[in-house]
Amino acid sequence: MWENDQSMKLKVGLAEMLKGGVIMDVTSAEQARIAEEAGAVAVMALERVPADIRKEGGVARMASIKIIKEIMNAVTIPVMAKARIGHFVEAQVLEAVGVDYIDESEVLTPADEEHHIHKKSFKVPFVCGARNLGEALRRIGEGAAMIRTKGEAGSGNIVEAVRHLRAITREMRHLTTLREEELMAKAKELGAPLDLVKWVAEHGKLPVPNFSAGGIATPADAALVMQLGAEAVFVGSGIFKSADPAQRAKAIVRATTHYNEPQIVAECSEEVGEAMRGIDVSKLDQKELLQTRGW
C-alpha cells in the first residue's frame, strides 16, 4: 500500500517495529524507567492515567511539556504522547518537542466534535482509536499510521476491547467475500474511502498495524486480544494502578510475546499480585463512556 509513499513507509515502519510488544502509559520519568526496565517497547506520556481522568473529571489535555521532556530524557525506547481529538496545535507542539508518535486520543477531552487532525500534513506518525472498520479507515484516510482498537479506557475491563476487535476483524472478513461492484455501496455504508475499502477487501487486513487498547489489566487479557488478532497491546491504568507495577509490567510483556502458549501465560499470571479493581462497563452511563468520542 505504501510502496511509493516514503513518509508513510517511515510512519508505518515504526509501528511495525513495535509489533508483539507492550506500550505502557506513564505519568513520570520514574514510571517510564520502570516500564523500560520491564521490557516495554514504548511508553505513552500523559498527565493522568485514564482511571484517574475518569475519577477526577475536568478537562483532560495534552501532558505537560516538562514531564514529556523528562520522560524522553529518561528512556531510550520511543515516547508517545496524546493530543486531544482535533487539536492540531497540541499535535504541532508535540511534534516540535520531538515525541516519536502522537496518539489522537478519545481518552482526552475532544477539542473538535466534527473533525479529526489532518495527520498527513505531519512528519511525526499518529495512532488513532477505532471501534469499527469505518472509523479505522477514516482515520487511516486522514493519515493515521497505526490503529488501536478501542476498549473502555481506565475501566480495567476487557469486554469493550474484545467487542471492538471482533467487530473490526469480522467486518474485514466480510469485505473479502464481496464482489467488486458491491464495494462502492459498502464504502458508503462504512463512511470510508473507497481505495482503502478495496485494499482491505483484497488483503483481509488493515493497511497499517492494528493494536489493542483499553481495559487490559492482566497477562491473560493481553494474550486474549493477541489471540483475537491484535498485533501489540497498549496498557494504560492496568499497570500503574495495580499493586505491583514492575512485576505486572514484566508479566504482561512476556505473556504478549508468548500469547499462544498457555503454560507461559499461566506462569506470568502466577507472578503477579492483585490487579486493578476495574468497573462494570455496562453500569456506566452512556455519557461516561470514552470510547464513543471520535467521528
Partner 1 sequence: MTKNGKKAIGILAIQGDFAMHARMLERVGVGWRLVKHARDLQGVDGLILPGGESTTMLKLFASEGMDKAIKDFAAQGKPIFGTCAGAILLATEVLNPPQERLGLIDMTVERNAYGRQIDSSVRFGECPELADHPVEMVFIRAPVIRRVGEGVRVLGRSDGLPVLVEAGQLLAATFHPELTQDETIHQYFVNKLGSDS
**Distance in angstroms (rounded) separating the CA atoms of residues 117 and 45:** 19
Residue 273 CB, nearest distance to partner 1 (Å)?
19
Report residue 156 as a C-alpha cell.
480495567
| Residue found by looking up cell 487498547 in the block | 213
Q: Contact letters (x/-) for partner 1, 10-29, by CB under 8 A?
A: x--xx-xxxxxx--------
> CB count, 10 Å around CB of 58?
8
Q: Contact letters (x/-) for partner 1, 245-264, by CB under 8 A?
A: -----x--xx--xx------
Does the footprint of partner 1 cover residue 36 (CB under 8 A)?
yes
Size of the site for partner 1 (CB under 8 A): 36
Is 82 part of the annotated catalytic residue set?
Answer: yes
Q: Are 73 and 29 in contact (CB under 8 A)?
A: yes
Task: Please list, residue by residue across 34-50, b when 16 or more beta carbons sit within 10 angstroms of its beta carbon and e when fewer do.
Answer: bbbebbbbbbbbbbbbb
> CB count, 10 Å around CB of 195?
13
Residue whose CB is less far from partner 1, 47 or 100 = 100
Residue whose CB is less far from partner 1, 55 or 203 = 203
Question: Whole-angstrom distance between the N-terminal and C-terminal Cα of the chain?
Answer: 24
Residues 57 to 96 in contact with partner 1, rule: CB under 8 A? 72, 76-78, 95
Which residues does the annotation mark as catalytic?
Answer: 82
Residues found near partner 1 in the complex (CB under 8 A) = 3, 6, 9-10, 13-14, 16-21, 36-42, 72, 76-78, 95, 98-101, 123-125, 250, 253-254, 257-258
